[in-house]
Amino acid sequence: MDSMGASMNEVAGVPGRALDPLNCLFAARALRDFGDSFVAILLPAYLLALGFSPLAVGVLATVSLSGSACLTIGAGLLGARYGYRHLLLIAAGLMVASGLAFAASENYAVLLVIAFAGTVNPSAGNVSVFVPLEHAALAREAGDHDRTRMFARYSLAGALAAAVGALIAGAPELVAPLGLDRLSAMRGMFVLYALLGLAGHWLYARLPQRPVPANAAPSAALGLSRSIVIRLAALFSLDAFAGGFVVQSLLALWLFQRFHLSLATAGVFFFCASLLAAVSYPVAARLSRCFGLVNTMVFTHIPSSVALILAALAPTLGLALALLLVRAALSQMDVPTRSSYVMAVVTEAERPAAASFTSVPRSLASAASPAMAGALFAASAFAWPLLICGTLKIVYDLLLLAQFRQLKPPEERGA
């Protein structure tokens, strides 16, 4: 074991004791989701405090998600040539720059540029250049029987950290006794986001550096699995387009406007929602062993969409929050199962390309809807975006079940 650790150090170019690659990826995911979680809640409050409208919040969210899509396209094209470790290091550097730039600027045009070129995420980590890169790396570390459980642990690490991140999002409202105004405290949170990117860079630097073949293609090609990936990407795009109507920043915006929820209370709510999502990940892995990956995705997702639709119609804050918590307990069970399913139904050589090509359309689709949601919220306090999201997600689930119920991953074929 000692010689193996020493060998890994030599490969990674890191002096001292090696860190397990899975632990590095789990820790990096946790740090990133911690930052993305409080930023997603702070973002609408920060922009409103600067004097911008709800429509401006939606437009910035769309621009941010569009930028994430472009970054993910770049990662897919360059991954085979430069390696995923190198691209993760660059992405972490962008995270540092994004946090510092957001803290320093109040100009909306400048903020739009930063949102497009950086990593500030209105969806709390669900759409990010980091995700396909980490998925491809994680898939190399597990066999078929452990793959879903490994993705569940990866998602669990992120969700627990996101819960804590949501809880501290209300910190700017609690600093008045310290003599710090609310806007300055918000800027300080963006600086904290940058520091988390720096810590993530340190962790990615400790991943083993796999040699890239000299004749590596500029993009990873899809072969036998092309049709499968295209169909999955189309369905995931519908799901992501629907989800874009209620990205965390816009859901927080609706709660602020509809029920006059405070930033501190919103932080507590999203903390509880993230904890429920975290608990659901290992449950999803167990359910998938009994009922299959596709069935687990669909039959947990549909009730969550029904809960979202009912929350849109709820007359009181308490009932709306209760229904949204029910949704939180169910809506993310498809995250580890979906990631595992994509990795399972393509060949090992196609996994990096499949991870990127299913993520890019999701990013583009999710980028289209926040501006629409912002416009709807600006026109009315009624929760049209929540109704649209819930309805489209049910359509997605039914289509996924119809098209992929018979295409089973290796571990289910052998059952």
Decide if 411 is inside a domain.
no
Residue 159: strand, helix, or coil: helix
Show the tokens assigned to 13. Answer: 């170019």
Question: Using an 8 Å Cβ cutoff, are 235 and 400 in contact?
Answer: yes
Torsion angle defined by CA atoms of residues 106, 31, 21 and 408, in that order, rounded to the nearest 10 degrees = -90
Dihedral sign (CA 410, 237, 33, 332): negative
The model's pLDDT over 343-378, given as tens digits with 9 standing for 90+, comes to 888 887 677 678 777 877 777 777 788 889 988 888
Decide if 342 is inside a domain.
yes
Decide if 44 is inside a domain.
yes
Most confident of 274-283, 365-374, 392-401: 392-401
Decide if 398 is inside a domain.
yes
pLDDT of residue 15: 42
Decide if 415 is inside a domain.
no
Domain count for the chain = 1
Neighbours of 402 (CB within 10 A): 10
**Which CATH number goes with the domain that contains 338?**
1.20.1250.20
* Lowest-pLDDT choice from 149-153, 192-196, 330-334: 149-153
Show the tokens assigned to 12. Answer: 């990674």
Specify the higher pLDDT residue, 230 or 81: 230
Residue type, 229: V
Q: What's the domain range around 199?
A: 2-405
pLDDT of residue 235: 95
Decide if 410 is inside a domain.
no
Is pTM beyond 0.85 here? no
Span 301-311, average pLDDT: 97
Confidence grade of residue 126 (pLDDT, cut at 50, 70, 90): low
pLDDT of residue 80: 59
The single residue listed with the structure tokens 């029987």 is 145
**Which residues, 6 or more positions from 390, have their beta carbon under 8 angstroms from its beta carbon?**
242, 305, 306, 308, 309, 312
* Rounded CA Rg of the chain: 21
